[in-house]
Copies of this chain bind each other. A is one copy, B any other.
Amino acid sequence: MKIIHTVAEMQAHSESLRNNGQTLAVVPTMGALHAGHLSLVKLAKSRADQVILSVFVNPLQFGANEDFDKYPRDIKNDEHLARQAGVDILFYPSRKELYPEHYHSYVCVDTLTEYFEGDIRPDHFKGVTTVVSKLFNITKPHVAVFGEKDAQQLAVIRKMTRDLNFDIDILAGSIVREKDGLAMSSRNVYLSKAARVEATILFKTIELVKSSLNNGFHDIEALLAQAKTNLKKAPLATVDYVQLVDAETFKPAQSLLQGKAYIFILAVKFGSTRLLDNLHFTM
């Protein structure tokens, strides 16, 4: 596995691989790799000759009072896991390399970023779309892979890719879960023991909604009420939002139409740790 730290070397290497007829996939991450990330690498390997994994804790997507400083970092372990997973190139730039002094350029997507995560975390998506644009320009991939756990982020990146005409296929990897159903996340390590036990409520609520849908129960208000009632079983949890949205626009669905894609999304806080989970489904 090749390890690259600078933009110039990464661009030259990608360019040379492309000139040799190789197809490239990038998996952008903030490190603290877990089985969720590794499933994205696997998906990437199935679709390209060479897989680039980027590790960069992007300051631009953290709010002033968020966990940028304490976000878990363990590059040695990330390197080990990446090598094991068959990553070809680990791109691990410094903050100064990506955001030099007097950095002033940004990429933003309107509308889609105004609700849910964008409402709770102002400028979060602007940070995401900016760094992803940079990573696209640096790694020059044919394919980029993102996790479905961050469902709204995935929708925002798809929208940006299409609008700005990046000639890159965006692939989505399914959520990978712990044995008890908790969606894998680098932030799960923040949970107290008690919160960790209660945190399965997100998955349980998703299973409940899924089974209701499968049983032909399609009344949106009633489904959301059922979900909210279920979440009350976890006394340590504070609900940020529970909603059923159009999969592309992230606007709350008014009714469920045959053939259309929707996402049931929820964000729940345990202390200062926010957990996201979701269920994609097509009617």
Are B19 and A104 in touch, CB under 8 angstroms?
A: no
Q: What residue in chain B is nearest A112 (Cβ atoms)?
A: B104
Q: How many copies does the complex hold?
A: 2
Stretch at the interface among A61-69, A71-79, A162-170: A162-170
Residue A11 is within 8 A (CB to CB) of chain B in the complex? yes
Partner of A11, one of B15, B134, B167: B167
Could you tell me the distance in whole angstroms from the C-beta of A110 to the nearest C-beta in chain B? 4
Q: Verify if A172 is at the interface (C-beta below 8 Å from B).
A: no
Flag if B15 contacts A137 (CB, 8 Å): no
Mask for A150-169, Cβ within 8 A of B = 1, else 0?
00000000011001111100
Q: Assess whether A84 is interfacial by the CB under 8 Å rule.
A: no
Q: Name 17 extra pairs, CB < 8 A, besides A134-B164, A138-B165.
A: A7-B165, A18-B18, A18-B19, A19-B21, A104-B109, A104-B110, A104-B111, A104-B112, A104-B163, A105-B107, A106-B107, A107-B133, A134-B165, A137-B164, A137-B167, A138-B167, A140-B167
**Can you spell out 28 A-B residue pairs with CB atoms less than 8 angstroms apart?**
A7-B165, A11-B165, A18-B18, A18-B19, A19-B21, A104-B110, A104-B111, A104-B112, A104-B159, A104-B163, A105-B107, A105-B109, A105-B129, A105-B160, A105-B164, A106-B108, A106-B110, A107-B107, A107-B133, A107-B164, A108-B108, A130-B164, A133-B164, A134-B164, A134-B165, A137-B165, A138-B167, A140-B167
